[in-house]
Amino acid sequence: MSDATSRPRFGPNDILRFFLELVAIAAVAMWGIFSWPFPWNIGVGIAAPALVILIWALFNSPRAVFHLDLFGRSLVEIIVMFAAALALFSLGGPMQIVAAVFAVVAAVSGLIHGRRQLAD
């Protein structure tokens, strides 16, 4: 087996999906910090992104602890990305536009990834 075939392939959509994961974590952290009063904003601002990271690591990461089928992984991804978009939307103002753009890009990227997984 050659070295080129043993390495995982990464395409532009994989890079976009990683960026979307980072944005989702940041969005939930911003929501926690800006939506709660002072003593609570620190706790929620740390706990909310930690929960998103935990859920992603348990179910959707390449080395996930719980291996789900394509439907299960897609459902977890939809929940995480929807929560991030909802968190951005709840911040109001121009963040609502950012939330809409994020939701559309995440949905299209997820569809492309899902179709590629079904083809494999």
| Contact assessment for residue 33 and residue 19, using Cβ atoms and an 8 Å cutoff | no
What sign does the CA torsion over 26, 19, 87, 90 have? positive
**To 10 degrees, what angle do helices 70-90 and 38-59 make?**
160
Three-state SS for 105? helix
Q: Could you read off the pLDDT tens digit of each residue along the chain, which spans 120 residues?
A: 555 566 667 889 999 999 999 999 999 999 999 999 999 999 999 999 999 999 999 999 888 999 999 999 999 999 999 999 999 999 999 999 999 999 999 999 999 999 998 987
Residues in contact with 16: Cβ distance below 8 Å, sequence separation at least 6, in sequence order: 105, 109
Give the pLDDT of residue 6. Answer: 65
